[in-house]
Amino acid sequence: MGNMGNLGSLIFFWALLVAVVAMATEHRPFERTKGVNGLDKIIVRDHRGHSFEVYLYGGQVTSWKNDKGEELLVMSSKAIFNPPTPIRGGIPILFPQYSNTGPLPSHGFARQRFWEIDANPPPLPSSSSSHAFVDLILRSSDDDLKIWPHKFEYRLRVALGHDGDLTLTSRVKNSDTKPFNFTFALHPYFAVSNISQIQVEGMHKLDYLDQQKNRTRFTDHEKVITFNAQLDRLYLRTPDNLRIVDHMKKKTIVVHKEGQVDSIVWNPWDKKVSDLGVDDFRRFVTVESAAVEKPIKVNPGREWKGILQMSVVPSSCPSGKRDPKKPCVHHP
């Protein structure tokens, strides 16, 4: 019995050791390293092989890979990693102003600031049990206050979900004594097989502002959006779930948003963009979560929260053929 008891104890402690090691692996911290031009970046991986990378400059996600190592975002082949130039590609943060809708430089200043790792963020209620994440924070600086006189704290959590989905949770706190308003967008460059072989679903019968025509208002009567020329539209009051269907790869990117009522769909086609490669437009589409038509108001001491969740699921089109007038079938 003594030997059996010792054996049982040994098995118990071995199992305990395995469990502790597994937990340590599951909770393993992110890796901080140097990226292009020596800029600090964070690499986060989960035990299934999914990963993402985010630069502290701009708080900008520059990579999101599935468990096969396939890149799901696009970086410009001419991206400039040289502050204060914004980085082209990945997921830029447009705060506290979208485009030229206010007095600030276009798209605000958050994408041109150095963020910090937030070691002790306030609790973030979530149904996700992901342990593969990083928390960043951007606080208003004296230089920021000169051009936008509102004290704020912008907290960003970037997290991998169980199936490799990527979630960006934004929390903007008003640490000032007066209310402030801001407009906002997250601007993901989603990787696609070919821009001419995809469609965006979810905008049927919605109003949009055509940003190629001085934001003139139109209604989209097409069931899906397809691309054969430059397109730059700000859709108003869009559904919480939008879909990008890639016919060649037979996959669908599902874009889920909360706290942001608008969406931007953009591809420059062959329009010259100084920090975008000549053929880069063929490899991406942006479907952005945004709050533009009605600015977000935050009272003193209060906090706004917005969520952008991106996932990839298989898809197929009716009869196995592409029909540009019909939505595809998605298989979560």
| Residues recognised as catalytic | 187, 288
Place of tokens 């009605």: 294
Tokens in use for 5? 């008891």
Q: How far is CA 80 from CA 36, 37, 113, 116, 286, in A?
A: 9, 9, 15, 21, 19
Sign of CA dihedral 247, 248, 251, 254: negative
Distance CA 110, CA 203 (A): 28
Cβ atoms of residues 285 and 195 within 8 Å: yes
| CA atoms within 13 A of residue 167's CA, in its CB half-sphere | 25
Structure token pair of residue 273: 């963009």
DSSP-derived pairing of the beta strands 40-45 and 116-117: unpaired
Category of 280 on φ-ψ map: left (φ > 0), alpha (ψ -120 to 50) or beta: alpha
For residues 303 and 170, give the distance between their C-alpha atoms in angstroms, rounded to a whole number: 10
Give me 22's structure tokens: 């597994």
Peptide bond into 268 cis (omega under 30): no
Query: What 3-state DSSP class applies to 67?
Result: coil
Cis-peptide, bond into residue 29, ω within 30° of zero: no
Residue (of 207, 179, 183) closest to 294 by Cα position: 183
Measure the CA–CA gap between 263 and 92, rounded to whole angstroms: 15
Sheet strand arrangement including 60-65 = 31-34, 40-45, 51-55, 60-65
